[in-house]
Amino acid sequence: MLENLHIKNVALIEECQVSFGHGLNILTGETGAGKSMLIDSLQFALGGRMGKDFLRRGQKMALVEALFSIKEGGFGEKLADSGIAPEEDGSVLITRTLNDAGKSVCRINGSMVTVSMLRELAADLIDIYGQHEHQSLLNPSKHIRLLDRFCTGEFHEVIEAYQKNYEHRKEIDRQLAELLGDEAQREQRLDILTFQKEEIEAAALVAGEEEEELTEKKKRLTHMERLIRLTIESTALLYDGTDEMQSACDSVSIAVENLKECAGLDPALEGYAASLEGIYVGLEDISREVKRYAQNLEEDPAELEFVEERLQTIYKMKRKYGGSVEAVLEFYRNISQELEFFSDSQGRVIQLNTERGQVQQRLEEGAEKLTALRQEAAERIAGQIEDSLKDMEMKNAKFSIRVTPREEWNHLGKDKVEFMISPNKGEALKPLSKIASGGEMSRVMLALKAVLVDADEIETFIFDEIDTGVSGRTAAKVGKKMSLIGEKRQILCITHLPQIAAMADKHFLIEKKTRDDQTLTVVSSLGEEASIREVARLMGSTAVTEATLAAAKELREVKNL
């Protein structure tokens, strides 16, 4: 449930902190005082979108913090799946800021999350119902989802299995459309695939083929004449020598022998003799290797041509089918599979049609189960809603949830669901959108919530002025119904009706005040006497009198009956 709401620099709210309680939390105040701004702030904290006027004038940053206490399982598991752990006491702190550039930052228990993540997670925390939610009742396409929330037992397993089969059938139909589609387009596609496959096969690419090695080989073959000349010259200088000059190896060999003889005369030269002898051995090894390399060199125009053609082939394949040899080979595997798919089209069509028949049978069985479960829930829930409407001065109302076949199936099954009502005795059942007044719509929605309270894990309901069109005794009945729901769930309710306000377990007054030439919205928690006085004000008298106070006190006493 919502424990605390902290708001700073939002519209006319400079800063306020509201601690809500269990049961029915009532918010009242003059029109325009800013009652709905509390709900708007909470919606913002839970991922809602806000307009430019949301940030308080002249401020750089708006802040809304919402502190919840949650039960084990459900929401806590969703948090854990997202990598966010609740506190040990089960509390969850949601924080969202908005700066003057329109950028917002969202956090859950200090961990930063995206707005979409916040919105998805918060959907299980609060159910907000305002006057605009009448549209969900007026729109028959929304009714099936409302009904499904009341379905219990195996319903969720059945619809999950149905939807998997539904997607499977869609994929089969897509493949059949490819196989049985336009013949000319199919032949054109086959020609393209065949050409691509044969071209890649002719290239004979090998995974891991090193283009760098081929490039180096091309460089060596291109400059072969210079390589031969320079290595031969180096061999002569290092090892073979010429008629005019002895080789480097011969010269160093003579120097080694001379130093060895000198070392016999002066031991100080022994180290130099040994070092030079090591250099001679290394020089001789290098000289032999260079000579061997030079002897194996020969110009090969055919090999150079082959390397150049191979490089061109690789570049061409990469340019056409992928940025690397591996990508080209992956493209080849994909088109080979597609060709295989088309090559045995007749057999594949037979196979897909057989598979489709099996999936269709499972779909039909699943759809029948969904229909049966919905019809059972519809009958059960309609009776409960009817009883709930009777509690709110619609004693002759008849309510029905009609489940009929759709012309075309969709991912929810084959059912079309529509809420039907007969508000007065003797009237035929008609679609809710064609018969219900504003006051009747409010009571129908409240009746739905009263029934849903036992089937829904959401702990907090918010009613934003849904008392439209009700007054007098009916308003008292609506207030009593909210009070009863409040025994099982936390309710936040904005109202103008004294009959509803009198049912408060906790009462908050929202007022406009002027300070330092600024208009501010202030939220106060009312004690029993202050609550009775506010209920008296809501009765509409020009001034609160002893008579209105007595009437207000009497309304408060009705709550405890």
Least confident of 44-48, 217-221, 289-293, 496-500: 217-221
- What is the phi-psi region of residue 11: left when phi exceeds 0, alpha when psi lies from -120 to 50, beta otherwise? left
Between CA 438 and CA 519 the distance in angstroms is 33
DSSP one-letter code for 255: H
Residue 501 has pLDDT above 70, yes or no: yes
- Can you tell me which residue has the tokens 């080989």? 217
pTM over 0.85: no
User: What is residue 280's predicted lDDT score, i.e. its pLDDT?
Assistant: 84
pLDDT band per the 50, 70, 90 thresholds, residue 133? low
Residue 387 has pLDDT above 70, yes or no: yes
Between CA 519 and CA 516 the distance in angstroms is 8
Mean pLDDT, the chain, as a whole number? 84
Residue 356 has pLDDT above 70, yes or no: yes
Q: Under 8 Å CB-to-CB from 527, ≥6 apart: which residues?
A: none
Tell me: the pLDDT tens digits for 21-63? 999 999 998 877 778 888 889 989 998 888 778 888 888 999 9
- Give the residue with greater pLDDT, 84 vs 360: 360
What integer is the mean pLDDT of 279-302? 81
Tell me: the pLDDT tens digits for 436-494? 566 777 778 788 778 877 666 678 888 877 766 677 788 888 888 888 888 888 999 98
What integer is the mean pLDDT of 261-280? 85
* C-alpha closest to that of 117 among 98, 96, 101: 96
User: What is residue 208's predicted lDDT score, i.e. its pLDDT?
Assistant: 65
Distances 136 to 176, 279, 433 between C-alpha atoms, Å: 38, 95, 10
pLDDT band per the 50, 70, 90 thresholds, residue 388? confident
User: What is residue 62's predicted lDDT score, i.e. its pLDDT?
Assistant: 92
User: What is residue 458's predicted lDDT score, i.e. its pLDDT?
Assistant: 77
- Give the residue with greater pLDDT, 419 vs 153: 419
Distances 234 to 37, 278, 280 between C-alpha atoms, Å: 91, 21, 16
Residue 533 has pLDDT above 60, yes or no: yes
pLDDT over 90 percentage in the chain:
22
| Rounded-to-5 percentages of helix, strand, coil across the chain | 55, 20, 25
pLDDT band per the 50, 70, 90 thresholds, residue 377? very high
Residue 435 has pLDDT above 70, yes or no: no
Residue 390, amino acid? K
pLDDT band per the 50, 70, 90 thresholds, residue 3? very high
Least confident of 303-307, 335-339, 517-521: 303-307
Between CA 554 and CA 561 the distance in angstroms is 11
pLDDT band per the 50, 70, 90 thresholds, residue 209? low
Between CA 284 and CA 281 the distance in angstroms is 5
User: What is residue 451's predicted lDDT score, i.e. its pLDDT?
Assistant: 81
User: What is residue 250's predicted lDDT score, i.e. its pLDDT?
Assistant: 79
What integer is the mean pLDDT of 358-368? 95
Q: Which domains does the chain have, with CATH numbers?
A: 2-125+458-559 (3.40.50.300)
Tell me: the pLDDT tens digits for 155-201? 999 999 999 999 999 999 988 887 776 666 777 878 888 898 888 88
User: What is residue 6's predicted lDDT score, i.e. its pLDDT?
Assistant: 94
pLDDT band per the 50, 70, 90 thresholds, residue 354? very high
Tell me: the pLDDT tens digits for 79-114? 877 888 767 777 889 999 999 888 999 999 888 999
Between CA 329 and CA 99 the distance in angstroms is 51
